[in-house]
Structure 1
Amino acid sequence: MISLTNNTMNSESRPREQSPLMTTPDSENTETAKTQGFREPSVREKAHTHDTAYEAVRDQSDGRDSGAAHEFRRANKDPFVILVDVFAVICPAAFLVFAFLVLKLDGQVIDDAPARQYRNAITILATLFPIIFAAIVGRLMSQVARWKLEKGATMGVLEQLMGSRTVGGTLLFHFQLRVLNLLALFLVLIWIFSPLGGQSILRMLETRSRTVAQPADVVYFNTDAQSQFASWSDVSPTSNAYNVNRMSIVNAMYNALILSPDAVKSGAMDVWGNVKIPALSSYGDSGNSDWQSVPQNDTEREFSSLVGVPVTKVAEGNTTFSLESSYIHLECGNFSVSSFSYSPGSGTTFATEVQFNETSLCMSDRCNSVANGTWQGWNLRLNGSLISNDSNNQDRGAGWNLALDNFIDELWIDYDWYTQRGLKVEDSNRPDVFAEEKGVVANPTTLLFQAKEQTSSYATPEYTTSRCGATQKYVESRVHCSRDSPTARQNCSVIAQRPSQKPHADENISQLSFTRVFRYVSRKLPQATNHFASSYTSDISLNYLENPSSATMTAATAPPELANIPPRDFGYRLAQLVNSYVFLSQAFSNAPSGSVDAMASFEPNVTVVVDVKTPVEVFHISGAWIALYMLSCVVLLLGGVMSAVVTHFVHGPEVLGYASTVVRDSKFMDISTAAGRMDGIDLTRMLKDRRVRYGYTQLSVENIPLVGVGSQEETDVILRPCVVHMNDIASVSGLELQPQDQYGAYYIGELVMRTIQHGLSLDPDDATEAQDKLKYTLIEGIHELYDNQSQGHFVHILEVVWIVDQCFLQGWLTRIHDRLSGQRLSHLQIAVRDGNKICEDSCSNFRVELRDDDIGSLPIVYIDIDTRGTWTIGHVVEMLIHEMVHRYLMLFSCQGGFSHEFGGCSQYSHDKRGRHRHYPRMLIKHVFETIQEWDDTLRFFGEVFIDRCDQDGQYDALVDMGILYM
């Protein structure tokens, strides 16, 4: 039997060979054990004269430290502190200065380079503002908390201040603290200016489009100018050649206008960029003197001419001006058709054409006058024969012709009379001559249009005639022009019109009322397309009258049916052709380039002073955002000033907010006593290489380990306890506590201490008997190979397991539990067999499962041993003891304890391996070293496991607490 030895020698000071398996302290030592249960760490003072911000003042009298009379050196005068104070004031001031600089930009036109610089500055400052705000206001919070700590304050106030050093930290901390007071509201109000200030920087400077008006001159052609037809004469071969050349230009431009694309015909500008004048009567009321908007829909308005008015010197930007112009308006009646007919009573009747009087339209400077009321026009023989009235004229006939029944008196075209009255000859032959005249009577004027229609050269011709009232309309147009750049083409259109408010000649006096003008219109216009008398083919002028579309007009192969054209449409189309031809005679040299060239000049012209409105981008300052930004800067400036002031009112070290504060006065670490006078950053700098950990320390009170922050080597990890389902947890300090299915009720440190104490408290006779029985059981067959086919070997193993559990593990694993189902079960189940598939990576394996195959479940510790290979009984027992210790600690400790609710253990990451093995190592070493003391035969028993426990840096699967949580 094993004798029980009482020994009061400290196990740490005795050799291992003399340490008993179990000792029972006597009554004299019980009190000593209790008083020695808590051990103070030895604290040694170290001198750090160069590493501390606050040092002991030397006593100059004896050269020794003054002991308790320590004073603090003022670190507030440190250059770095002064530099931070300056930074805390200058940065907010710089932000304010930027705000005033931005204010000066309001309304200024944006220049590319400065605008780019300001936008870059805003982007950078919007990023820096929250950072600088957090640095300055966070420092203020820290310094105020430091000052409050010196003066005395509640923990809640200090935590509120130290937790409010960022925006998110302020909100999250007060939510976690569940406190709502004036200080909390004040702190949130201060920190809200951090994001608001950053956003206000981005939003305070905007760009807007504004119209800038600048005076400028716009020049446009005067449509009341004299037609150059009036000055051309055929009196000599030289002048005739000159006139023929100019007529070819006019005719070419006329054909270009007729054949221009439909988009150009219906557009606001002609093919050369001149602005076209709409016919006011086509969409509005000619008798209304108010401004009338011009419809933008092509079907709702007609243009007076296919050629527009040249406009030049349009500046870059938007320009709106008034343009005075005039045009011929034709009010046509229904068509009359003279056709071939045969009547039995009267015989055959052939179609006849209207004969015109050409006397007043001769090409000489002196022509005989013809009384008004007679159709006066150029007889272009509609049968295609040569015109023989004038020996100098070899023009062929045409498919249509024009005549007028009323002209001005020949006195108004007498150049001598003009000269005698002191008038300019170039001002004659135009309606504007009569603008200032009084008592001039103008009779209504009618324009006769006559066309020959013949389907073939052998068919009987028909003559279609229309009579149109001709008047000269004077309108004032509001023209809007825009030009993107000085070299870009201008874009002009008429946006509104009204009848001209200026004095003008009688409307019955038109450009056609002058014989020198009409003789060219009557003679040359029908021949402008070079279609000579082939009436059975298509004349593009007549095709235009039927349908102005270029596609239809050029594809026509037969004469148009003019009689089917509505009189209103025919009048506007014929007026467009006549006005185009007359206006080309006025400005054929200016129309192609006058509007394209911004600096073009032409005569006669009209110059108007306009305001050129140019849209420009200007800076706009948002009043709300700039005010919010300046308020944020003021808050930041006040925070910087206050932080600098408070810093110089604090005398103690800065200890709040540093990780080193938790070990500053720790009894679990060996730290200099001077640490209490050091700034947190200085202490951190001194201890930056020391590894610390929060967990169970090596100190205890009444065998309960203390939890705190200490050196990593001397502190074990603490894990969160599992869910424990029990009604009452008894004190672990009493030896009478039994598990009572309270799985996971103990902290692992407490369980290890209790287990060792249990062995020491056994009855001496029972302890000796158990020791002898286990010793001989282990020695017997320790070197014999285990045979998994031998029932005796397995019974031998079970006997060893039972004794180990009773001696070292309080008998909890093999204790029999009576279940509700009538079964009697224990926690332990062992499987020792060859080829154990459960043990794939190691020789032994364990698992804890809830046996629920019957009523009254019970957590079962399954231990599997793989005997594959050559294993002695001693080796198998060693592995069993190792697994039993770990499974015992797992089942009854909160570190991985069993949960009835979840049916399993707490789960921890593989990364925790090798980090939680202090207490399992302690108990394993205790078991193996105690057994080794019993006999020399057992002196190497479990040595491999003990050696591995001492190798902290080596991976040891057998003592790895991480396995417990897989």
Structure 2
Amino acid sequence: MEETIPHTRIRDNWHGGPKTLEHWDAPTVFGWIFSVLLTFTPLCFIALAITAIRLDNQPHSDYGKTVLQLTVLSPSLYPILFAALVGRFYRVFGRWCLESRGGVNLPVLEQLIGSQNLATAIERIFVIRTNAVIGIIILTSWLLSPLGGQSSSRLLQDAKFDLVSNGTVYYADPAYQVSHSRWIDYRHSVGATYAASLLSSSKQKASPRDIWGLPKIPQLSQDRLDNGSYDLYDVNKSDLVSGKASYASLLGIKIQGLVRPNKPTKFNFTISTSYFHVDCDFVDSFDPLRGDLTLNQTNIVDLFYKYPSFSAFNILPQSWFNADGEEDDINSPYQFIYVKQMRGSHLYVVKCATHEIKVETTIHCGPGDPATTCEPRQQRRLSTENQTGTSLFPPSVTRSDLRLKELSYALYAWAQASGDKDGVQPSPSEMYLMKDENPYEFTSQLPWTKEDLAKFPYVFSRRMTTAFNTYWDAGLNPGGHTNVSYSTIPLHNMNGLETGQTYKDSFMNTTMGTRITTIDVYSAQRIWVGLLLFTTMVLQILAICGLIIEILIQGPDVLGFASTLTRDNTFVPLPAGGSHLDGPERARCLKNMRLELVDVRPEDETGYLAVRAVSSAKGQDTSVIEGSVKSRKWVHLNRRRLYE
């Protein structure tokens, strides 16, 4: 195609006349204000990183939620800010190099001006293929953009923090609660508590808490009793669940003072308690109706002559075991016999000895309701004498002149506690000792089998220990054991059964415990905070350097603008002047001009590509004047044609 370009009509003073390189007008002032504000915008991200550090391990708050929302927006804002400041730096740095004495290498200038984002920085490395070091430096700086954006979104995370505090925990101490003078008045309450414990399911019996949610104390294993170990050990919960180990009592220890805030809270504390260890063994089986009874068998029969048809616990006179007249003391075992009697005939005799076992147990509660979470975690045996040289049991049990009466009455009451007994149906206590489940199941009184006798001595002793201590503990606080309130601070008084008052606020022993309250906090991710600070500091340095260089530059900004193609171009007919204009100003002044890339030597063997001005449209403003430019021939581009 071939065309003759008519004269182009452009304003003679299209550029506004000659001007100095430094001139101030409203757009220039606003441009500099914006440039200064943009330069120091990275400080906002530095402040965000510092704020994240200050929020580390701080509880959730409205202020923290606002900061979290900012971190959500940051990945979108950071790359935009990074591109604006780093792109400006490379552009003004290229302009400064262009103005400096000696100029700048053209490929370097092309890389500086063209690297306005990460993608173009990569592109310029491959398309220019010179000055690879400079290209890699530019690319490395642009790689900080996604790194900083991702870092800003990962500054804070939700976490848990444990607030640890120490406080007083109150727990029932048998040494202060035993009462014997009015036990008879509360026998029904004691019996009901004991019967309810026996009636509970096997799962409940194996639970670390009793029916009312109070933590139980495990028995020491027979191995630890035999070797006399006093080492601390972890409570084996699986053995307690499977029945290989037992609790000292089916009733737990009353705990108070566990004040919980409205947050997940855990408690750890150690309590010292005592229980009766009952060591039993099967010693004899005989028919009292036959002759030739031994002296011991005769004594046993004499104990039962008033009760010919029931199974019961009975106390054999102490001289029956201490034939040598040995003096009793608090450390010697208290001995008794348990006799099972078939209806009017066969007797089974079990010899038992009981002594105090003192243990120190670590109780853990939480993070939920203590009534559903308290359980023993660790335990160790203590000497039967504490630091003051006294037993944990009360004087009525530890004094040799009183304990026979006290324990004898307890055993007698225990035999009557679990319901009526006859020669046809075994008592619930006996059912628990031999079967360990369904103690109130109706079944006939049957002789002991080899399988039953195989439970002696260890299994039977463990169950006897649990059963007796359950009844004993039921009598310690018959009016208050079921009044469970872990968070209550007890009243320190001695009002109890001896004074005839309701035994609800029993005297409690104390121990120091640890309360661990778990709260929701913010966790500052220090690696990401460090990366954000690093990338933002680099960005801030480049921003300040870019502003300083921009101040030092004197010439107009003509690099990277399409309007620069009209400068000193013989194929773009313009009246003289306008060299002081930068790219945007030149584009505004020539807003009606159209450009195209064409072959301006269509008649030659090889073409020549140039940007030319397209003819002005008809009806152009009459205020323009004609330019004196010769018409030229041109053709559109051809891929198969050779061009210089």
Shorter-chain TM-score: what band? 0.7 to 0.9
Distance 1:560 1:321, change over 3 A: farther
In structure 2, C-alpha distance between the alignment counterparts of 1:83 and 1:47, rounded to whole Å: 33
Question: Are the counterparts in 2 of residues 318 and 483 from structure 1 also a CA contact under 8 Å?
Answer: yes
Q: Which residue of 2 aligns with 1:228?
A: 179
Shift of 1:267: 1.8
With normalisation by structure 2, the TM-score equals: 0.79
With normalisation by structure 1, the TM-score equals: 0.54
* Structure 2 residue matching 1:381: 3-state secondary structure: coil
Shift of 1:690: 6.0
* Structure 2 residue matching 1:273: 3-state secondary structure: coil
Shift of 1:490: 5.2
* Structure 2 residue matching 1:653: 3-state secondary structure: coil
Q: Which residue of 2 aligns with 1:290?
A: 231
Shift of 1:674: 5.0
In structure 1, C-alpha distance between the alignment counterparts of 2:482 and 2:416, rounded to whole Å: 22
* Structure 2 residue matching 1:608: 3-state secondary structure: strand
Shift of 1:143: 1.3
Q: Which residue of 1 aligns with 2:201?
A: 261
Distance 1:406 1:604, change over 3 A: farther
Shift of 1:575: 1.5
Farther-moved stretch of structure 1 (672-681 vs 465-474): 672-681
In structure 2, C-alpha distance between the alignment counterparts of 1:293 and 1:380, rounded to whole Å: 49
Shift of 1:577: 1.0
In structure 1, C-alpha distance between the alignment counterparts of 2:585 and 2:540, rounded to whole Å: 29
Distance 1:654 1:464, change over 3 A: same
Q: Which residue of 2 aligns with 1:134?
A: 83
Question: Are the counterparts in 1 of residues 78 and 149 from structure 2 also a CA contact under 8 Å?
Answer: yes
Q: Which residue of 2 aligns with 1:523?
A: 412
Question: Are the counterparts in 2 of residues 275 and 308 from structure 1 also a CA contact under 8 Å?
Answer: yes
Shift of 1:567: 1.6
Aligned match for 1:305, one of 231, 237, 249: 249
Aligned match for 2:456, one of 554, 561, 566: 566
Shift of 1:229: 3.6
The question of 1:279 aligning with 2:219 is answered: yes
Shift of 1:136: 0.9
* Structure 2 residue matching 1:514: 3-state secondary structure: helix
Letter in 2 for 1:157: V
Letter in 2 for 1:678: L
Distance 1:100 1:475, change over 3 A: same
Q: Which residue of 2 aligns with 1:514?
A: 403
Shift of 1:75: 5.8
* Structure 2: tracts of 5 or more residues without a match: 320-326, 492-504, 616-632
In structure 2, C-alpha distance between the alignment counterparts of 1:715 and 1:498, rounded to whole Å: 108
Aligned match for 1:381, one of 300, 307, 317: 307
Shift of 1:72: 3.6
Q: Which residue of 2 aligns with 1:504?
A: 390
Q: Which residue of 1 aligns with 2:41?
A: 91
Aligned match for 2:145, one of 194, 211, 218: 194
Farther-moved stretch of structure 1 (296-305 vs 613-622): 613-622
Farther-moved stretch of structure 1 (193-202 vs 511-520): 511-520
In structure 2, C-alpha distance between the alignment counterparts of 1:380 and 1:519, rounded to whole Å: 18
Shift of 1:537: 2.5
Cα deviation, 1:112-139, whole Å, max 9, x if unaligned, reads 4333222222222343222211111111
The question of 1:184 aligning with 2:142 is answered: no
Shift of 1:471: 0.7
Shift of 1:462: 2.4
Question: Are the counterparts in 2 of residues 314 and 481 from structure 1 also a CA contact under 8 Å?
Answer: no
Aligned match for 2:313, one of 401, 409, 414: 401
Aligned match for 1:322, one of 270, 293, 303: 270
Cα RMSD after superposing both structures:
3.9
Shift of 1:646: 1.7
Cα deviation, 1:179-235, whole Å, max 9, x if unaligned, reads 3444223323332332332233334445554433212110000022343344346xx
Q: Which residue of 1 aligns with 2:364?
A: 480
Q: Which residue of 2 aligns with 1:157?
A: 108
Q: Which residue of 1 aligns with 2:549?
A: 646
Cα deviation, 1:615-646, whole Å, max 9, x if unaligned, reads 34555545544333223222222222222222
In structure 1, C-alpha distance between the alignment counterparts of 2:34 and 2:465, rounded to whole Å: 87
Letter in 2 for 1:381: Y
Shift of 1:576: 0.9
* Structure 1 residue matching 2:336: 3-state secondary structure: strand
* Structure 2 residue matching 1:646: 3-state secondary structure: helix
Q: Which residue of 2 aligns with 1:955?
A: none
Shift of 1:323: 0.6
Q: Which residue of 2 aligns with 1:910?
A: none
Q: Which residue of 2 aligns with 1:786?
A: none
The question of 1:173 aligning with 2:57 is answered: no
Question: Are the counterparts in 2 of residues 593 and 600 from structure 1 also a CA contact under 8 Å?
Answer: no
* Structure 1 residue matching 2:353: 3-state secondary structure: strand
Distance 1:676 1:42, change over 3 A: farther
Shift of 1:329: 0.6
Question: Are the counterparts in 2 of residues 95 and 633 from structure 1 also a CA contact under 8 Å?
Answer: yes
Q: Which residue of 1 aligns with 2:619?
A: none
Distance 1:525 1:312, change over 3 A: same
In structure 2, C-alpha distance between the alignment counterparts of 1:356 and 1:506, rounded to whole Å: 36
The question of 1:547 aligning with 2:435 is answered: yes
* Structure 2 residue matching 1:318: 3-state secondary structure: strand
Q: Which residue of 1 aligns with 2:378?
A: 495
Q: Which residue of 1 aligns with 2:624?
A: none
Question: Are the counterparts in 2 of residues 209 and 616 from structure 1 also a CA contact under 8 Å?
Answer: yes
Distance 1:38 1:442, change over 3 A: closer
* Structure 2 residue matching 1:334: 3-state secondary structure: strand
Aligned match for 2:467, one of 577, 584, 597: 577
Letter in 1 for 2:477: A
Letter in 2 for 1:399: S
Distance 1:204 1:282, change over 3 A: farther
Question: Are the counterparts in 2 of residues 254 and 528 from structure 1 also a CA contact under 8 Å?
Answer: yes
Q: Which residue of 2 aligns with 1:707?
A: 609
Letter in 2 for 1:653: P
Aligned residues: 583
* Structure 2 residue matching 1:450: 3-state secondary structure: strand
Cα deviation, 1:90-127, whole Å, max 9, x if unaligned, reads 21233333333333334x43224333222222222343
Letter in 2 for 1:304: A
In structure 2, C-alpha distance between the alignment counterparts of 1:611 and 1:223, rounded to whole Å: 23
Q: Which residue of 2 aligns with 1:537?
A: 425
Letter in 2 for 1:311: I
Question: Are the counterparts in 2 of residues 692 and 712 from structure 1 also a CA contact under 8 Å?
Answer: yes
Question: Are the counterparts in 1 of residues 313 and 415 from structure 2 also a CA contact under 8 Å?
Answer: yes
In structure 1, C-alpha distance between the alignment counterparts of 2:528 and 2:90, rounded to whole Å: 27
Question: Are the counterparts in 1 of residues 160 and 518 from structure 2 also a CA contact under 8 Å?
Answer: yes
Letter in 1 for 2:224: G
Question: Are the counterparts in 2 of residues 446 and 468 from structure 1 also a CA contact under 8 Å?
Answer: yes
In structure 1, C-alpha distance between the alignment counterparts of 2:392 and 2:222, rounded to whole Å: 21
Higher relative contact order (CA 8 A, sep 6+): 2
Cα deviation, 1:145-165, whole Å, max 9, x if unaligned, reads 222233332221111101222
In structure 2, C-alpha distance between the alignment counterparts of 1:98 and 1:218, rounded to whole Å: 44
The question of 1:354 aligning with 2:300 is answered: yes
* Structure 1 residue matching 2:163: 3-state secondary structure: strand
Question: Are the counterparts in 2 of residues 197 and 629 from structure 1 also a CA contact under 8 Å?
Answer: yes
Shift of 1:71: 4.3
Shift of 1:318: 2.5
Aligned match for 1:146, one of 72, 76, 95: 95
Q: Identity across aligned pairs (percent)?
A: 21
Distance 1:521 1:638, change over 3 A: same
* Structure 1: tracts of 5 or more residues without a match: 1-11, 13-36, 58-69, 234-242, 358-377, 384-397, 408-437, 455-459, 722-745, 750-966
Question: Are the counterparts in 2 of residues 229 and 516 from structure 1 also a CA contact under 8 Å?
Answer: no
Q: Which residue of 2 aligns with 1:916?
A: none
In structure 2, C-alpha distance between the alignment counterparts of 1:614 and 1:74, rounded to whole Å: 67
Q: Which residue of 2 aligns with 1:655?
A: 558
In structure 1, C-alpha distance between the alignment counterparts of 2:302 and 2:63, rounded to whole Å: 75
Shift of 1:594: 3.2
Shift of 1:568: 0.8
Aligned match for 2:352, one of 458, 468, 485: 468
